[in-house]
Amino acid sequence: MTQTPVSRTPEEGQARAQITIPAKHPMVTVLGSGDSLLRVIEKAFPGTDIHVRGNEVSAVGAPEEVTLVQRLFDEMLLVLRTGAPMTEDAVERTIAMLKSDRDDEAGGHHAPSEVLTQNILSNRGKTIRPKTLNQKRYVDAIDKHTIVFGIGPAGTGKTYLAMAKAVQALQSKQVNRIILTRPAVEAGERLGFLPGTLYEKIDPYLRPLYDALHDMLDPDSIPRLMAAGTIEVAPLAYMRGRSQPVWTNVLTPDGWRPIGGLQVGDLVIGSNGEPTPVLGVYPQGERDIYRVTAQDGAWTLCCGEHLWTVRTAADKRRNRPWRVLETREMIGNLRAAHARRYELPTLTGPTQFPAREVPLDPYALGLLLGDGCITGATTPSFTTTDPELVSALELALPGVKVRRKGSVEYVLNRVKTPGDVITLENPVTRDLRTLGLLGSRSVSKFVPDDYMYNTPEVRLALLQGLLDSDGGPVTQSDRTCRVQYTTASILLRDDVVSLVQSLGGVAYTRRRAAEDRTPGRARGRDVHHRRDAHIVDIRLPEGIEPFRLARKRGKYLAAGGGGRPMRFIDSIEPAGREETVCIQVAAEDSLYVTQDHLLTHNTLNDAFIILDEAQNTNPEQMKMFLTRLGFNSRIVVTGDITQVDLPGGTRSGLRQVKGILEGVQDVHFSTLTSQDVVRHKLVSRIVEAYDKYDVRNGDDRNGRA
């Protein structure tokens, strides 16, 4: 388009502009069918004479008005150049944007053509784009900020545009899932009195979110995405309910602690084995509880909405990232062709406990717990056919001489020095007494806490001593090597399992009954089994050597090592109702170690989360929701503070949050007005009328005088 400069006419204070429409744009696309667009322009600028002759448009009137008309046609042609049509509504919005920005000749940072041609999402021939300058600023803020509040009256596109950005982020793989939620509060209604199941009660209230989804996605794909947990639509109450019973154990640097006793600032162990602080603790009241059991026997309790990081065989095969599912989403879907469907993550590094001083070398203690006699009735002794272990034991016990007593028996004597008196205690006996182990028999041995909750080096050395004495490699044809450990002590069995799990491994246990077992042979005679044997099958992560004894270590390495430890969910079963609590941790993946070293969490990572109708949240709900934010996630909160439906006296969390978070980095507040209403024109007028009424009558924003 070519245009002439604005020039003065002979009449005082008048200006003229002449605009030439390029031939490639038919005049009907510029002026509208039956000049409908031209009439909109003339109505908007009643003091300006606008004439059309051929492809020339002239405007005569006040300089300020003529300049706006000239800019209007510029913007219209820019929109038409992109292939987007000009409608009466688009012309009206362009005029409104130009008038609101008339003091800036460049049109501010957002020219109307930029607003009207910004495509967010296209589906089945329908393109979703902002229609007003405030809407574009809102959309741009969602791109630039992690948390965005969209506040404005009904019909301004707050939720619709946010959902379009969410679907765009999902399709471009910026996030792995979309969470859409609303507080289940409606004026004059109580969901409990509605007929049907809970889902049937809440479905009508969530229907606007479903309808918007159907505008943006193939309707056939929506049930599949919801079944897979990629899209979740739920009341806000479900968002807060990701919890565990208050007495459930959580691993901390000082050992196991009930989750209900944790406070903000306490440290728990994350998936990398490192301590991570607790950021939030949220009591959840009494809830239905499920027992989640892995195939290795590990289990923990949680509510139906608790979150689990899992992956399927197809995810692994296609190199897809781990997904996050709720407990209830996996119920009834735990098998795929008779194989367990959902794999759970294991520790990516050994648990890091602070160092503790220990009286006995950990490897030596492991050997004694395996093949040592520490009853206290006699001098401590050790039984083995491996001279290598005798040398290692003597080297690890300063002041002790390992003396051979029989073909496989050795006594641990104190090394005497000149001047010693006969009453000096054997150092091994002294240390065992200090640890509470003296007097233990094969069925009552255990690992003291000072070793169980010590550095990875101490725990591994102890485990190596146990495996070198009472364990060994088990080779399998065409498979990696399994490590097996056997003990008569239930306590020691559980301690070995915990040691393995704390190093990132997996352990399976089984019992071999003493009754009817073939007796062993010793010195040419049968030795009958008096106790059941507890067998532990172990797999440790790559890089962790289970053996020091050369013959066992060589066999283990020759078989290719132990393979990758894996855990799968085996069952999810109802377990009654319990008082519950949920926590948020600062770990990047939001995972923490719960009972049996299972990794779980309740924070939403890699998600686009939309809270709609946020004016109906109370301050506690708003805080709970915002602190659910996980890594690589975004939150958009939408609401209309003039439409609060909370019970009398309850404060709106949306109103309060602006005073708390305004000015916080990466948090943005976008305000939309009646000028941004994109529904029927009458809606905008109704909103404006109510605003004027409130101002005139001094009503507060809840409609109370």
- DSSP annotation string for 320-344: PPPEEEEHHHHTT--EETTEE--EE
270 DSSP 8-state letter: B
For 60, 342, 585, the CA distances from 593, given in Å and listed in that order, are 75, 18, 11
The better pLDDT of the pair 590, 636 is held by: 636
Q: What value does the mean pLDDT take over residues 515-543? A: 78
The better pLDDT of the pair 82, 260 is held by: 260
Annotated domain spans of the chain: 2-117, 135-237+606-680, 242-346+567-600, 362-558
Q: How far apart are CA 487 and CA 402, in angstroms?
A: 24
Which pLDDT does position 371 carry in this prediction? 93
CA 137-143-146 angle, to 5 degrees, is 110
User: CATH number of 362-558: 3.10.28.10, 1.10.3210.10, 2.40.30.10, 3.10.20.30?
Assistant: 3.10.28.10
Which residues touch 310 (CB under 8 Å, ≥6 apart)? 322, 323, 324, 325, 330, 342, 343, 344, 569
The better pLDDT of the pair 198, 113 is held by: 113
**CATH architecture assigned to 242-346+567-600:** Beta Complex (2.170)
CA 510-511-516 angle, to 5 degrees, is 140
Beta bridge partners, 411, equal 381, 403
pLDDT above 80 for 335: yes
The better pLDDT of the pair 37, 403 is held by: 403
Q: What value does the mean pLDDT take over residues 361-369? A: 96
Which pLDDT does position 702 carry in this prediction? 45
Q: Is the pTM of this model over 0.85?
A: no
CA 179-184-187 angle, to 5 degrees, is 140
pLDDT above 50 for 656: yes
Which pLDDT does position 419 carry in this prediction? 65
User: pLDDT, tens digit, for every residue of 559-585?
Assistant: 888 788 999 999 999 999 999 988 888
Which pLDDT does position 9 carry in this prediction? 46
CATH 3.40.50.300 applies to domain 135-237+606-680: yes
Q: What value does the mean pLDDT take over residues 343-355? A: 94
Exposed / middle / buried, residue 6 (Cβ in 10 Å: 0-12, 13-18, 19+): middle
Q: Give the chain's length.
A: 705
Percent of the chain with pLDDT over 90: 38
Which pLDDT does position 53 carry in this prediction? 83
Which pLDDT does position 150 carry in this prediction? 92
Q: What value does the mean pLDDT take over residues 437-449? A: 94
**CATH architecture assigned to 2-117:** 2-Layer Sandwich (3.30)
Q: How far apart are CA 639 and CA 594, in angstroms?
A: 37
Which pLDDT does position 472 carry in this prediction? 92
Please say whether the beta carbons of 540 and 546 come within 8 A.
Answer: yes
Which pLDDT does position 17 carry in this prediction? 81
Average pLDDT value for the chain: 83
Other beta carbons within 10 Å of 661: 15
Which pLDDT does position 282 carry in this prediction? 80
Which pLDDT does position 147 carry in this prediction? 94
Which pLDDT does position 128 carry in this prediction? 82
Q: How far apart are CA 355 and CA 46, in angstroms?
A: 83
User: pLDDT, tens digit, for every residue of 95-116?
Assistant: 777 777 654 444 445 677 676 6
Pairing of strands 275-294, 244-245: unpaired
Fold agreement (2-117, 242-346+567-600)? no
